[in-house]
Structure 1
């Protein structure tokens, strides 16, 4: 079924690829960006409901439990003081669509003191540069990291995260990376392995 959000996109169907345009919003998360680029969620990255985001993550193969935890947390109200708000909350207070349903924009995923963190695999630390867009040098370093003939294993992912942490600890005096951030970073790569991995044990090609 064709999308009707924009006359320029009448020929596009869900699953068709279109890169982000200048006015589209995107997240620091490449998976969310890919979902938007393929029309699984709003291509402009705006006004995404919790139901739409849950359906999109299920489309990737995520379990109901993980999907519920991630989305329900993200749709809580954000606070720049993590002691006064939900740690994962990303929405503004009273941020709803025309039907009164809570919504989220993709760029809000990059808000500070929430789910986004330093020591990303493909993004620069917030204090050192652009933490939203993919850094080509970091991507090349990641793809060139040691791995088995069948691809990245859990061990290879873990070793590379340690390399990234050691480097950022040297290079970023303002590094913010506590135990929760470390858990988030490891969980991200764990999700990559579970979704895109092949064989047993899973390897990411």
Structure 2
């Protein structure tokens, strides 16, 4: 890693730390005023949703795709500046300015582009093991589906169907919980590893995957009624606003208080599923021996 990159990242994290402290000591934004006045989505009024056309560019990221579908980013998903991504993600989802600089700058680095001068198409950021990774909650692995701009609806429905939380503010409303997401993430990792002969998931991408899961909790509050159109149609529901009301948005530091425990729980469930799978295989092996009248003992005797 270049010294300049390390220095830049260090400055961003210091900036983020001070924003985190500032959020603690300043009052939150009022409900209905999270999206700034004059920006798309202010007071819950989102631009018209238009599904992507055949030649439009889309990515593995539902958040960016939704912004393009509403015209907050160019609808064709092409020639987007990293600075525009920074500004619009900030106003749309209330991530902190430090967060909104760090992620586009990281993506620019992956694509070997200049954050300040270059542009990108949404499909470009689906480069494998960049921000795209195996065992996604909303996409088939790239081994099975090269077009990562397409949501895989069965995964999404299974995820939303696993929601176990209840919304105290809206009777009958169901919420995804951190435990729901950890369990389903573990299931996806286990199944993807078994089905994909080219499966890979580094520690970094495991944590990045948990960051994506944490976004569903922190930005959307886990509310299934909002997540269904967002994840399946990549459409922002009318009247929606981010759950995060911190005055300077969701910082990297604050976000990690959700991400890291979620990742720890996910890995715990992965180990549990792996152990259960091993036990089932062992039981099946023993039963097969018994069904044929063959045991490990008499195999040894026969060979002798």
User: Structure 2 vs 1, CA of residues 131 and 138 (structure 1 numbering), >3 Å: closer, same or farther?
Assistant: farther
- Matched pairs, number: 172
Q: Which residue of 2 aligns with 1:23?
A: 55
Q: Tell me, in whole angstroms, the C-alpha distance in 1 between the residues paired with 2:50 and 2:183.
A: 34
Q: Does 2:121 correspond to 1:72?
A: no
Whichever of the two has the greater Rg, that structure is 2
Match of 1:167 among 185, 191, 205: 191
SS where residue 33 of structure 1 aligns? helix
Does the 8 Å contact 1:125/1:131 carry over to 2?
Answer: no
Does the 8 Å contact 2:163/2:177 carry over to 1?
Answer: no
Q: Is the deviation greater in 130-139 or in 173-182?
A: 130-139
SS where residue 40 of structure 1 aligns? coil
Does the 8 Å contact 2:129/2:205 carry over to 1?
Answer: no
Q: Tell me, in whole angstroms, the C-alpha distance in 2 between the residues paired with 1:107 and 1:136.
A: 19
Match of 1:118 among 117, 121, 134: 134
User: Structure 2 vs 1, CA of residues 173 and 180 (structure 1 numbering), >3 Å: closer, same or farther?
Assistant: same
SS where residue 106 of structure 2 aligns? helix
Does the 8 Å contact 2:131/2:208 carry over to 1?
Answer: yes
Q: Tell me, in whole angstroms, the C-alpha distance in 2 between the residues paired with 1:158 and 1:204.
A: 16
How big is the shift at 1:146? Answer: 4.0
SS where residue 72 of structure 2 aligns? coil
Structure 2 regions of 5+ residues with no counterpart?
A: 1-37, 39-45, 168-174, 225-304
Q: Tell me, in whole angstroms, the C-alpha distance in 2 between the residues paired with 1:50 and 1:146.
A: 35
Q: Tell me, in whole angstroms, the C-alpha distance in 2 between the residues paired with 1:146 and 1:163.
A: 14
Does the 8 Å contact 2:60/2:139 carry over to 1?
Answer: yes
Where has structure 1 moved over 3 Å in runs of 4 or more?
none
Q: Given the two structures, how large is their TM-score scaled by the length of structure 1? A: 0.77
Query: Any idea what the Cα deviations from partners look like across 1:76-114, whole Å, max 9, x if unmatched?
Result: 2xxxxxxxxxxxx125x58x9xxx931111001111231
How big is the shift at 1:186? Answer: 0.1
Structure 1 regions of 5+ residues with no counterpart?
A: 2-13, 77-88, 198-202
Does the 8 Å contact 1:28/1:109 carry over to 2?
Answer: yes
